[in-house]
Each structure stands twice: as structure tokens, then as C-alpha cells.
Amino acid sequence: MTRAMGAAMRRIHVGNALSAFGLGFTVPYLYVYVAQVRGLGSVTAGLVLAVFAVAALIVLPFAGRAIVRRGPLPVLLVALVTAALGALSLGLAASAATVLLSAAALGAGQAVMQPALATMIVDCSTSETRSRAFAMQFFLQNLGLGVGGLIGGHLVDTTSAASFTLLFAIEAAMFLVLVAVLATVRMPHAPRVAEVPGRSAGGSWKQLLGNRAMVQLCVLGFVLFFACYGQFESGLSAYGVEAAGISTSALGTALAANTLVIVVAQFAVLKFVERRKRSRVIAGVGLIWAVAWAVAGYAGLGHGSQAMATAAFISTYALFGLGEAMLSPTLAPLVADLAPTGMAGQYNSAFALVKQLALAIGPAVGGPLGASLHAPYVVVFLLFSLGISVLAVRLGRQLTEVQNQPALARSRVVTQGGAPAEAVAAAEA
């Protein structure tokens, strides 16, 4: 990496931490704020959560094209300003209409941030440093969310709307601080689709859908996010309360254990992941999550004490955290490596779109199932986890050796007398 790339990367990581810190102030309390504090009821609160998903699904197809044509930084700055306005107006909103409109602006801005930041990381890293860069991003996101949520929990007062207005104002301020930080970033030049004559938006999507490895990765990504992230705050928590008798404080402890495992294990796991094939790492995550669902089954369906059930439930979240730590330096760099030159923004947005779709469907399916059909819920998602391993092995057959294991490019540089790693990778492809 050049010195300029390193300086840009440091600012990007600071930005990631700040945005996650701001989100941590409001995300855990959004439902309570809308339903109880503003007195708009559970239906409106549920619609707000749905609006976040719908807004993301609407803007992401266009965001990818904009990132490719204009570059990630201008798109990110617009997204941050939009999110800041949405957060501030949400903190001041008192009617259902203004709450939903504010949530749409905040959700759209947040959705576009993900692929824009991911593309900036791709542009400011090399194949050798990319896994570590995305691992750092995930580490800082979880640390920021955890610290923000902890501080927000001490500031919030469910009897005072003003305390929630303060939280949303802090979130908006973090987005604007991030604008100031990233506005100083000097991005390295990256090819844009606008520089290639005759390529339309439809042609870009057609090219993406013609990439069999990328399509398989999107299918795998949907199952990953559906079976894990889509269950955290819906099906799995409902299952824990209804089947395992988990208290709300224990549920909070489980979520904290998930974050703690990610923060503590991230870089230790990174050393393990970097030396192995990506497809096998993802397959290993599927097996770990299958164990997690089996432990969850014991928590809710076993006949142990309440203390044992609580410990097992917390262990489930911890095991999910271990799998997440393994995925963070694997999935995003693989998306970048599959993207043709200048198309990283399109591919990142497509993968973010798949993620949002899974996060929208996951709670809708898992919530009712986890609350009422306890044994089928565990069995279904245990099978989904095993399906992750199967899909990962199949994906590995579509990848080149260097796409599947970037460390091979570095090792072959040594054996070939110092030829550039990118040249070796290109020759392999």
C-alpha cells in the first residue's frame, strides 16, 4: 500500500467507528421510542422497521450504478447527509407520517453507506491487505455499536421524549462529523464505468448476473444472513423468551456476549482465516452455526435447570459471534475479487441488496416460528446452517485458486523470484 492509501484507509476506519457509534445510540431503542414514547403503537413501530428494509431495497440498485459512475466518496457524502437529516427529524417527529418519512430517509442513507464504504476500502487496499482491512471495519463497527448502545442506555428515559431527541441528535451529529472526516480523504484513482463507452446500467447488471460465482455467492449470502443476522432480534430472541424462559436481562447479556466474542476474537481468527481457502472457512462457519442451533435447542427443549438453559442460550450468541468474526475478512474481500475492474461498487451494492432482502424476510419468517413452533424452528435453522456448508463447497468449485485463497498469490511471488502479486493473480485467472 502507498502512504496515500494508508492515510485514506485510516480515515475510512475512523468513519466506520463514528457511524457505528451513532447508530448504537438509537438502534436498540427505536421500537420503544415509536410505540411507547411517541404513543404511536406497535403497528406503527413495526412499519418503521419495515420502512428501513423497503427503503434499502429501493435505493441499493441505483446506488451501485452511482458508485461505479461517480466514485464511492461523493455517493457516501450524500448518503451521510440524508441519514443525518432522517435521524434528526425522527427525533423530533410526533406523528406517524413524519416518523415513517424520517425512517425512510434514515434507512436509505444507512443502506447506501454500506456498499460505498466497502468500495472505498477496496480502492484503498490491495489483495494482500484487503482481508485485514475488512476485519478492522467489522471490529470497529461492533465496538462502536456496543459503546454507543451502552452510553445510550444510560441517557435514555422512556418517560421523556427529550431524552430520545438527544439520542437521535447525537446520531445525526456523528453522521455529520463523518462527512467532515471523509471530505478530506484523497481517494486513489479507480476506473469508472462511465469511462467505458457503450455500457449501460442494464448491461452492468446483465454482466453481474452472468458471473456464476457471484450469483452463487449471492445465494450463499442470502442463506447466511437469513439464518443468522435475520434471527438475532426476532426469531431467536422470541424462541429464547418463550421456549427457554430467558429474561430480558439475560437476552441483553447474550447480545453482549456476541459482540464481546467478535471484538476479542476478530484478529486471532484473522490469522487462521488468511491461511485457508475462503470456501472452507465459510463451510466451517456453517458447521459452527449448526452447533449453535443445537445448543439453542438444548436451551429451549432440554430438561436442565434455568441456569443451564440461560448459559446455553448465551453460548448460542457467542458461537454466532465466532462465525461472524470468520466471515468479516472473507465475504467482502471475495465480492471485491469477483468484481471486474471498475465494477466493485456494483458488486458491493448487489451483495448489500441480498443482505437487506434476507434481513427483511428473516424476521418475518423466524419471529412467528420461534415464538410458537419451538422444535421446528430449531430444526429448520440447523438445516439452513448445514446448507451453508454445502453451498460454500459448491462455490469453491467456481472460484480460481487465488480467488479462493489469496495467500497463494503471495507464496508464488516468492517462488517466481518476486513477480508482482497482481500479475500472478491475473495469470491464474
- Cα 162 from chain centroid (whole Å): 30
Q: Residues with Cβ < 8 Å from 368, sequence gap 6 or more?
A: none
Going by the DSSP 8-state scheme, the letter that residue 188 receives in this structure is P
Note whether 186 and 336 are within 8 A (CB).
Answer: no
Grid coordinates standing for 322? 465466532
Grid coordinates standing for 244? 427457554
pLDDT means per 10 residues in the chain (429 residues)? 72 82 76 81 79 85 83 89 92 89 90 86 80 84 79 77 87 88 72 46 71 91 87 77 77 81 85 86 94 90 82 90 90 86 82 86 80 87 93 91 77 47 41
- The CATH code of the domain at 201-405 is 1.20.1250.20
pLDDT number for residue 411: 55
Give the Cα separation of 361 and 356 in Å (integer). Answer: 9
- Cα 201 from chain centroid (whole Å): 25
Give the Cα separation of 321 and 329 in Å (integer). Answer: 14
CATH 1.20.1250.20 segments of the chain: 1-183, 201-405
Tally the residues of the chain: 429
Going by the DSSP 8-state scheme, the letter that residue 340 receives in this structure is P
pLDDT number for residue 283: 94
pLDDT number for residue 421: 42
pTM: 0.78
pLDDT number for residue 425: 42
pLDDT number for residue 85: 94
pLDDT number for residue 292: 92
CATH assignment of 1-183, among 3.30.390.50, 1.10.510.10, 1.20.1250.20, 3.30.70.100: 1.20.1250.20
CA distances from 254 to 232, 316, 369 (A): 10, 8, 20
